Every structure is written in C-alpha cells, then in structure tokens.
Amino acid sequence: MASSFFSEFGLLWYLKELSRNEFNSFKEKLKQETLHLGLQQIPWAHVKKATREVLATLLVKHYKEAQAWDVAFTIFQKINREDLCQKARRECAGHTKTYRAHVKEKFSEAWSRDSVRRCCGYVDKELTQKERRCLEVLFAPEEPRKRTVILTGARGVGKTTVLAKLMLAWAEDSLYQRKFSYVFHLCCREVRQVTATSLAALICRDWSDSLAPIAEIAAEPEKLLFILDGFEELMCDLDGPESDLCSDWMAQRPVQVVLSSLLRRKVLPESSLLVATAPACTRFLERRLGHAEVETLLGLTEDEMLLSFSCTFRKRWRGAEAFRFIRSNRQLLSLCQIPVLCWATGACLRREMERGKDLALTCRRATSLYSSFVLNLFTPRGARCPDEESRARLRGLCSLAAEGMWSDTFVFGEEDLRRNGLADSDIPALLDTKALRRGGGPGGASYTFLHLCIQEVCAALFYFVKGHAAHPSPAVGRAEAVLAAHMKRTKAQWVFLPCFLFGLLNEEEQRKLGAFPGARLGQEEVRRAVEQHLRGVPRGQLDGLVLYYCLFEMEDEAFVRWAVDLFPEVSFLISDPMDLIVLAYCLARCSALRTLGFSIQNVFVATPVTGYQLLYWNNICSVLTASENLEELRVSDSNLPGPALVTLINHLKHPRCRLQILRMNNVSFSAESRCFFELFSQSPVLKHLDLSGTRISHDDCKLLCNALNNPACNIEKLLLAGCGLLADDCEGFKEVLMRSTTLKILDLSYNCVGNGLSLLCEALCLPACALRGLALVGCQLKEACWEHLRDVVLGNRNLTHLDLGINDMKDEDLNLLSEALKQPSCSLKSLGLLNCSITASGCRNLASILTGNPNLRILQIGYNNIENEGVTLLCEALLHPDCRLEKLGLGACQLTSACCEDLASVLTGSRCLKELHLAGNPLDRRGVQLLCAALRHPECGLQALRLNKAEFDEETQELLVAEEERIPCLTITHQ
C-alpha cells in the first residue's frame, strides 16, 4: 500500500463504514493478524475499549502508515468487506489524491493572489466555526435526500469566499470526508466562455490531461458534489423542453445544455448540487429545481464590521469612532455586510479622517461615500486633488466601467484596458491602489473591479469626467438611456448606477469633481437627461421605488419636490427596512399625490418592532394628513404588526386626512384590529372600503358592522370578497342593510355565506334598503337561495346591479329567477351570470328577460357553454324592439363562426348594443369577415368589440386592425 494515504484520517473513514458487529470482529481479527505477521501487538486492553477514532490513531502510531493499511486491508477481506479494499485501492491509485492536491494548490494560489483578501486581515482561509456548522448542515449524512441547495446572498457578501474555503477544507479532508469522494467547483463566469463540451471534459479540464479518471468518478455518482458558483452570470435557460437535455455526460453539447442537464437532473441525478447565486435568481431557481433547500448568507455582523474597521485603522479607537458614523446610516451599515465594501468603507473613512474631512458629510449617502473612495484612490497623500496622470487613469477606469456595464462585462482582459486608455504601465498602480483586483482563469490575466458597486460608481462618474461622446465603444449609451433601461428593469445587474447618476448631481459632489475640466458640462448634460427622462416616463411604467431611491441619493430639496409631483399615482413593494427611510424622505415632499399604494414584505419581522422602523413608518403615514390631494390608499399583501397598524389608523382618523378610498387587500391583522374597524365610524370622508382577501374573524365582522351602523359612517362601497366570512356573519350585515342609508355597493363574493343569504334577502326586500349593487360571485349558493333572490329582484326597487357568477345554476333555478327578472317592474340594469353552468336551453329564459325587461342594460354570461344554438335565441331577442341591452358578454361560450351571421344581423339591426364580448371563442377568418362587414354597415352602432387578436392568424389580425383604423369610434381589444 502506498505511503501517506490519508494517514489515520483516511483510515478512520473506512473504520466508520463498518457496522458495530463488523467493528468488533475487526478488533478480534487484529489480535490474530498481528500475531500471524509477527508484529508487535497493541495491548488488548487498549484495543478492546478503543473507539474508531482511537483505533485509527493506535494503528498508525504502532505500525506506521503503510503497514497499518496492509493490516487493515487483510482484515477487511476476512470480514467480507472487499468493497472497502477496492475503494481504497482506487483512491490510492492516484485520481482522488491527485485531484485533492490540485484543488488545494489551485485555491491556495487564488487566495494568496487576491490582494484585497490579504489586506482584510480578519478574513482567514480556514472555515470559521459558524461557516463550518452551516456547511455541515447543508449535506448532513442523516439527510440523504437533500441533494440540491441554493446558496443565496447579495453580490460580494462572501459566497465565493465561503465556497473557496469549502474546497480547501474538503481537499484537506476536514469537511465532507465521508460524504463526497469528489467535489467539483464550476465558476460560471469562466464556464460561460466555453462553447461545446461534455460534463466529463468540464470537470477534468484543468487537472487531468485525459478522461481516464471518469470511470472512477462515475462509479459512485451519489458521492459527487457539483458546485455552481455565480449562476446569475451563466445566462442558462432552464425552461427549455426536456428533449433538449442530455443524459450522457460524455456527449459534446453547448455548455448551457450541459449545465441545464445537470441542474434538471437529466444527467447524474444521484449527485448533489450546491448553486450559489444572487437573490434576483433565487426564486427562478427554486421554481425550476423543485425540492431545493435555500440558505442565505447574511454577511458580516456588526461586531465583525467593527473588527474590520479596527484592522484598517492604525489606532483602534479611531476605527470605532469612524464606525459610529456608519452605524447611524442604515443604508451604509447594510452595505458593510459585504466584506470587501466594509474594507473599502473603512479605507475611505481613514483617508478622509487623515485629510481632516467631516465624516458626517462623507457618510450622508452611498454616493458621497463611494465617490470619495474612488477619488481618494487617485489623489496622492497630502494633495488636494488628483494630478494630471491620475486624472487620466481615472478617466480610463471610468470608461472601462461604463463599457462593462453596457456590455454586461465584469471581467476584463488587458486589451479591454488598453481600448479604454489604460496602458500596461498603469496596471501595477491600479492594482496597488485596489482600484482593480487581479483575476485568473484559462484565458490568462484578467481584472475586475473591487465590487460591482464600485464599478457602478465609476460608470456614473464616466458621464461627468469624460462624457458619452468620447467613448470608443458604440455600445455605451447616453445618460438618459441609462435611466430608461433601469426604470424598465431591462438591466437587472444595474443596482446603483442610476442612483449614483442622480447622487453625483448633488452640489457637494459637484465640488469634489471641480478638479476635472469639463465636469460642469457633464453635470449640465446629465441633469438635462434626468429632467427629460422624468417628463417622458409613461404613468404605467414608473417603478416608484427606483425613482425614490435615485432622488434620495440626489438630496436636492427643490428637485425632489418637482420630481415627485410629476407622478400623482405611485405604488411600492417595501421589502427592506431601508425602503422605509427612502419613502419617508420622498413622500414628505409630495404635494400632488392622489393615489398611494404599497405592499410590505419582510420588513416588520423583528419582535418587538424596532423604534427606527416605527419612526420612519410614522413619517410615511404622515402623508395621509399632510397631502390635501391624497384620495386613495392601497395596502396589499402586507403583515402589519400591532404598533404599525395603530400608527396607520391614527393618521387615518386625523381630521386633516381627506382619504376617500381605502383598500386593504390580503393584509394580516394583529390583535389591535379593534381600533381599525372602529375607524370607519370616525372618518366622515371615507366612502370606499375594500378589504378583499383579508381574513376577517367573526368578532372582527361584528366590529365592522357596528361601525357601519354608526350614523357618522359614510361608507358607500364595501368590498369583502374572499374574507373568510360564514353564514353566521350575515346576521350583522342584515342589520347594516336595514339601518344604513349610505351603503350602496356590497361585494360578498368568494365567501361561504350559504344559508346566511336568507338573512340578507330579508333586509334587501325591505323598502328602506338603500343598496344598489350586490355581488355574490362564487358563494356556493344552494337551491333555496334562488327563491330568496327572486323575492329580492321583485321587491327591491333600488337594486340595479346583481352579480351571481361562478354559482351552479340549474335550469329550474334560472327559470325561477327569470320569472322575476322579465317583469317590467324589475329595476335591475346589470346582471352577471358568468360560469353558472347555463346551457343553450337556458338561453330561452335569458331571451325572455331581454324582451321583457326594458331596464336591463348589461348582461354578462361568458364561460357558459351556450354554443351557437343559445346565441341564436339571444340574437332574436336582441333584435326585439323592447330590448334595451347595451353590453353583452359572450366570452368563452364555445361559439363558432356558424353563429357570426346571427351576430352580424344584431350589429346592423340593434339600435342599443354598444359593446360585444367574444374573446375566447374558436372563431375563424370567415366569421371575423362577417362581423367586419357588419361593422362597416352605416346602421351599426357598436363602439367596442372584445376579441383577442392574438388568437387569429396574421391575415385576420391585419383585417381587425384595418377595421379599427377605418372606424375611429370603434375599439377592438381582448380586455
């Protein structure tokens, strides 16, 4: 047996593979075998009580490594564990050993080559206890089925560093020694440069000259771990058909297909996967990889940040003093969770402190901090500004950054540097100052920025210190193109670039850039671009939070007030505590806001809620009392803890609050919900309340009904769809309908009201009931309900809208309702019967309603299989002189072109019909031609035809477009 084969560590692994009985048998055989070989015996008392760990140590200590292995091999054979002998021989043959040595050399060299890691003295290549615990849990031996793990975390938070430590620990046999025979690290940034390859070639490409190890590797696929580092840079489509994937790991395919096949378990399905990616890709991967575990790397704690500052400053107390400024800024503190940015921040503040600068100004915004960091790199110590040579280097660096941002390039070769004005002689200086860091890989020397955030601030500086017109690459767009791309989210990797563009317009930042000739012209050009872009943003395409972050960085009071008032309707997804700070700053400067909407997720998760969160939340809510124009507030998909809910309610109750519409959809209420429902009896201006999707308990329902019964309550429209209401809750609504003179619209859709409907109908039949519209969509109405509804239709003179969609209606139920609906005394103007199981025979009843009720203006019967036969009956009624119907919905009713002749006769013969909905029916070109011919008829009064143009062939689509252009008053749309 070859010497130095894993020492006792390797032997221990094999001993642990033995069962308890096998291990005891091993000890017995050990006594006999050493006697047979004439070896000095280990005292039996020591052997008998030895654990596996102790016995491995004893064997190597007494017999040296080679002899210990020979003894162990002989005993393995005698206890019928030849499989262990074969495995050990394979490993001893060299492939595993060679690969581990390669991994150790590769990652040790990369670690020592990275000057940034070296300057961060607190970052060691050994796994910390916290990291080791985290990694050991990911693929614990007792959880054999957990084979796919997604490691997520912000860019630069340390995912690659942790994975490098993992590789080194595995190579040194201190991690996963029993779990994985091979661990393969695939850097997606490097792999995407490869064209056609096989998975076998991919994993052997930089440590073996041939594919000889593949047979050994393939022998135990369950002992393989594949690590994909930086999935977001791979641009790998996981949505393709399974037929495009490859199950043969020796077959040559495009690299995206090879890795997709690995990720989607088409090849080596027994192996384990660890995929590291940015948060933006995490949900995408979760959906496509099935049962994947997600682990989040949070970055540095505050104690670790303080340690980093202490290592950066010569005097630790100065580091602590500087860190206090960072702690006071939530945004900068969050960014300092990323180790390299924490080091950059400390380095910047140390330099600013040496120059006598006010650290409070430097730490006001991310722009001021990172622009200072970059400018300091090019300013000699003792100088006030960069010299000419340094300015030239900075311009080149900014040019390189801009080109990279536009071309999605984050790793640059020497030719890239030269193209942007950086000579070979500039490279040592750029590396020495940490403006760039050296990379490696098969393509030779490469360079990256310290962090994407630093590349983004340099790209923003480019528009001030050099200018778009001077860039050698046509890919680099103007400043307004940066804003347009980011606001539309077409450049997902641009996190801070637009914010830095805005931030560099700040007056203090312009003073910093005064040393650069032309910076003033750059400022004027960027400011014009910003103003033009904001004026041109379509109302529906604005990402309000993106804009507010940009304005927050700019910190120009007058400009912020002008910009926010351009958009009277805004909505936000609040998912980070920093969002509260940004919104509080910008909303406090709104004066023209009319509609405000937000969804709050993962913000109020601390228990109790922190004071600063409540402070900024209170500032956000203050817009309800400060803005005289605010009419509508939308809160959706949010979990508001008690203190946050009380804060919101206090502002809603304030006499200066002019809110008329309040929507609280899919909101989780806390125990403090009592004061929320009491609000509606204390807000005289609130007219419209929408609580759809929000679970309302029976006790909450009582509180709501009590508030609605208060004479001071002025709610006119109440929407409670999908609130979990039950039959017992209808008692409260019965009283509301009997007493309230203001409530006009009530939506109880998607609640199991069941028998409680009879209580509602009792109140609805009373002459004093003021309700005009009632929606009972999807309420699982039973047979007895239709009789009660018939009485309502006959007896209520105020009710003009009734929606009964998605309720199973038998022919006799429809007949019962029709008898009431076709009476001339029926006041109903709008009737919804979508998806009510109505057939062609039921259309006879509907036709009688159209001819018997001159008040009915709208009938929606889509998603019922009435087919052509039913439409024929309806068309006859539509042509009747007593029919006054203006809108008819027939979407997805299984109609074919055979009925289009009847419909065409209605279009030319009806004087009332203004809107016809036909989307979702299998019409062909012939049917559309018949309809278009009718539309051209001088007697046709139709104003809107609902057809989904995308359902037809290109020629038919052109026909519909031409018809719409020919008739200005006609709209053809699927909505």
Asked which of 212-216, 338-342, 705-709 is least confident by mean pLDDT, the reply is 212-216
Provide the pLDDT confidence category of residue 62 given band limits of 50, 70 and 90.
confident
Is the confidence at residue 314, as pLDDT, over 50? yes
Question: Does residue 293 sit in helix, strand or coil?
Answer: strand
Question: Does residue 197 sit in helix, strand or coil?
Answer: strand
Is the confidence at residue 839, as pLDDT, over 90? yes
Provide the pLDDT confidence category of residue 130 given band limits of 50, 70 and 90.
confident
CA distances to 486, 538, 544, 598, 903 from 565, in Å: 21, 14, 12, 18, 48
Provide the pLDDT confidence category of residue 5 given band limits of 50, 70 and 90.
very low
Task: Write down the pLDDT at residue 7.
Answer: 46
* Residue 399: half-sphere exposure toward Cβ, Cα within 13 Å: 22
pLDDT one-digit tens code per residue, 173-197: 888 877 888 999 998 888 887 888 8
Mean residue pLDDT of the chain comes to 86
Asked which of 4-8, 134-138, 552-556, 567-571 is least confident by mean pLDDT, the reply is 4-8
- Percent of the chain with pLDDT strictly greater than 90: 42
pLDDT one-digit tens code per residue, 359-413: 999 999 999 999 999 999 998 887 778 888 888 999 999 999 999 999 888 889 9
Task: Write down the pLDDT at residue 680.
Answer: 80
The pairing of beta strand 253-254 with beta strand 196-197: antiparallel
- Identify the residue whose tokens are 């300091």: 376
What does the pLDDT average to over 429-435?
90
Is the confidence at residue 84, as pLDDT, over 90? no
- Identify the residue whose tokens are 């990911």: 138
- Percent of the chain with pLDDT strictly greater than 70: 93
pLDDT one-digit tens code per residue, 894-923: 999 999 999 999 999 998 999 999 999 999
Asked which of 1-5, 481-485, 621-625 is least confident by mean pLDDT, the reply is 1-5
Q: In the structure encoding, which two tokens stand for residue 180, read together?
A: 């994985």
Is the confidence at residue 674, as pLDDT, over 60? yes
Asked which of 118-127, 492-501, 549-558, 819-828 is least confident by mean pLDDT, the reply is 118-127
Task: Write down the pLDDT at residue 560.
Answer: 95
Is the confidence at residue 280, as pLDDT, over 80? no
- Identify the residue whose tokens are 């200072």: 372
Is the confidence at residue 274, as pLDDT, over 90? yes
For residues 660 and 34, the model is more confident at: 660
What does the pLDDT average to over 286-290?
81
What does the pLDDT average to over 293-309?
88
Provide the pLDDT confidence category of residue 6 given band limits of 50, 70 and 90.
very low
pLDDT one-digit tens code per residue, 98-112: 888 888 888 887 777
Is the confidence at residue 443, as pLDDT, over 80? no
Is the confidence at residue 891, as pLDDT, over 90? yes
Containing H/E element for 115? helix 115-119
Is the confidence at residue 531, as pLDDT, over 60? yes
For residues 377 and 291, the model is more confident at: 377
What is the three-state SS of 94-135?
Answer: CHHHHHHHHHHHHHHHHHHHCHHHHHCCCCCCCCCHHHHHHH
Tell how far CA 254 is from the center of its chain: 29
Is the confidence at residue 568, as pLDDT, over 90? yes
Helix axes 544-554, 479-487, angle to 10 degrees: 140
What does the pLDDT average to over 343-352?
93
For residues 10 and 397, the model is more confident at: 397
pLDDT one-digit tens code per residue, 776-805: 999 988 888 899 999 999 889 999 999 999
DSSP string of 479-526, one letter each residue: HHHHHHHHHTTS-TT-SSHHHHHHHTTSHHHHHHGGGSTTHHHHHHHH
Tell how far CA 728 is from the center of its chain: 39
For residues 4 and 49, the model is more confident at: 49
Give the type of residue at 163.
L
The whole-angstrom separation of Cα 332 and Cα 300 is 13
Nearest to 43 by CA among 3, 54, 64: 54
Task: Write down the pLDDT at residue 141.
Answer: 61
Task: Write down the pLDDT at residue 751.
Answer: 95
Is the confidence at residue 566, as pLDDT, over 90? yes
Nearest to 375 by CA among 406, 397, 400, 401: 397
What sign does the dihedral 285-287-289-291 (CA atoms) show? Answer: positive
Task: Write down the pLDDT at residue 922.
Answer: 92
Task: Write down the pLDDT at residue 858.
Answer: 97
Task: Write down the pLDDT at residue 396.
Answer: 93
Task: Write down the pLDDT at residue 235.
Answer: 67
Q: In the structure encoding, which two tokens stand for residue 491, read together?
A: 């450049």
pLDDT one-digit tens code per residue, 715-738: 999 999 999 999 999 999 999 999
